[in-house]
A and B are shown apart, each in its own frame.
Chain A
């Protein structure tokens, strides 16, 4: 249906030689994430809840990793810890050997929804990161235009976010996060609020963009199809307390498109994940029932 469009967009992306050279120079070999023995607990003594328990994870440079699990399993908490919004109670967490203590522009983040500044135009939203990094207005503007054309929204530069559809808003969100050339892109269920059709388009879009960047991506989702379709590796988490229960390698060839969704390899991986999650969900239920 849209093969020509996809080809066109790839050409458009390759046109930005400046973007490509910079992304390679800055991002290649970076974005290694190390999570070792991380516990994240909330609340005070007596009423403590363990959101993440004993998480060990090593994510390599340029890897696309999905954190998959049922809602409330702590996958978003772990992501927020990598972003620097949540401080682990115990354990170490580092990006490129540097301990994570606070949020920073080296780790771009895409949120589920409503994260664009509604009072800034689409262009100014994307230019915000470069401006904060000390770029001049013209410089930041040119970066913004580059990234807006990368996500196919150059024509909407002057629009305010509320006038765009949900999918377009998320594309602006991706452009904004990438405009800082982050070595790690953190995505917290970015397509969770979109309808199924838009969602698949966005997944394909994301893979196309990522092909140009090859930075590390940590993508949180509870959608198994999405995880298998996108990632190199799926880290499955179980609920209460949030633990990493499986690490599945996804050896599907790239570039991937929608046709992959019906292939036998895809089905097999999906079944594997489903069974693991089902097992763990049942176990969690049992545990909760005993506790209650």
Chain B
């Protein structure tokens, strides 16, 4: 649901912004002169605007950091005074304790090994999901046949949560590692496919006709018109897919495996190491956020043409 909405927001068709502060429709020759003449003034305006934007941005980040600090403070109070009203904080370690445990983990090597394992699985599974997902998505978006053949599978399999795949994955695949990677891959695949299909189906007919008039063949149309046009939607799919990949990875790692941040979190529970549970959870949150941000950053040059400049 969520991803569909964001895909529509990123749609190229809804991004028509015209009439900049430039010279508008002056006759032929004055146009090239105008920007030169207005350059200095525009630069000054741009500088002021940039400064305002920066101030606004830093103000908002300040609020965000303050919100997080407030949550930590509430957590501290709740666990210090053993808050117990429906939600029980008696067994929840205080933030300071978690901080100490974190320092201990960071100075050892085991913790990094867990992270490295998770990252490796994400890299393999997500890489496969992106390649296959975009390929399938483009195929389905371009061919009714392909869509009719593939879509039923996707619709049927998509609602199955990652955890439900675990038994079958263990039975069917040769190793624990490959089961976890498979589950992670599946999680990332669906958002990528569906958003790619959505983007490709939004292809503007007039742009395809324009390209054909200019002598483009089908392959050139795919590379120069269809894929760039679908890119905003594809990037949304990639970002959502990365989130779901982490979600699925954790499900896989909790059930099986010897390493991985999900395994770390779950064994901490069975070993009654409560601060480690929280460390594991926060690490997952941080890694998920950072990797999604990375996806957006890496893709942003592809969206530079959008009026928003492809900024995250």
**List of B residues within 8 angstroms of A85 by Cβ:** 209, 212
Across the interface, do B19 and A128 meet the contact criterion of CB distance under 8 Å? no
Across the interface, do A152 and B213 meet the contact criterion of CB distance under 8 Å? no
CB < 8 Å neighbour of B25 from A105, A132, A198: A198
Q: Does A123 contact B (CB under 8 A)?
A: no
Q: Does B32 contact A (CB under 8 A)?
A: yes
Segment at the A interface, from B10-18, B47-55, B150-158, B262-270: B10-18
Across the interface, do B28 and A205 meet the contact criterion of CB distance under 8 Å? yes
Q: Does B229 contact A (CB under 8 A)?
A: yes
CB < 8 Å neighbour of B214 from A132, A149, A198, A201: A132
Q: Does B130 contact A (CB under 8 A)?
A: no
Complex CA gap A132/B25 in Å reads 30
Across the interface, do A163 and B209 meet the contact criterion of CB distance under 8 Å? no
A125 → chain B, closest Cβ, in Å? 9
Within 8 A of B (CB), among A171-211: 171, 176-177, 180, 194, 197-198, 201-202, 204-205, 208
Complex CA gap A83/B213 in Å reads 8
**List of A residues within 8 angstroms of B60 by Cβ:** none
**List of B residues within 8 angstroms of A107 by Cβ:** 213
Across the interface, do A208 and B35 meet the contact criterion of CB distance under 8 Å? no
Residues A154 and B32 in contact in the complex (CB < 8 Å), given A164-B20, A166-B18: yes
Residues A180 and B215 in contact in the complex (CB < 8 Å), given A119-B305, A156-B35: yes
Across the interface, do B18 and A164 meet the contact criterion of CB distance under 8 Å? yes
Within 8 A of B (CB), among A130-171: 132-133, 149, 151-156, 160, 162-169, 171
Across the interface, do A103 and B305 meet the contact criterion of CB distance under 8 Å? no
**List of B residues within 8 angstroms of A120 by Cβ:** 224, 228, 305
Mark each residue of chain B from 197 to 240: 1 if its CB lies under 8 Å from any CB of chain A, else 0.
00000001011011111111100100011001101000000000
CB < 8 Å neighbour of A153 from B16, B31, B217: B31
**List of B residues within 8 angstroms of A168 by Cβ:** 24-25, 31
Mark each residue of chain B from 227 to 260: 1 if its CB lies under 8 Å from any CB of chain A, else 0.
0110100000000000000000000000000000
Across the interface, do B224 and A117 meet the contact criterion of CB distance under 8 Å? yes
Within 8 A of A (CB), among B22-38: 22, 24-36
Residues of B within 8 A of A (CB): 12, 15-20, 22, 24-36, 204, 206-207, 209-217, 220, 224-225, 228-229, 231, 304-307
Residues of A within 8 A of B (CB): 2, 5-6, 8-9, 12, 83, 85, 102-105, 107-109, 111, 114-120, 128-129, 132-133, 149, 151-156, 160, 162-169, 171, 176-177, 180, 194, 197-198, 201-202, 204-205, 208
> What 9 pairs across the A-B complex have the smallest Cβ distances?
A152-B28, A167-B25, A105-B215, A155-B32, A129-B214, A132-B215, A119-B228, A198-B25, A9-B28
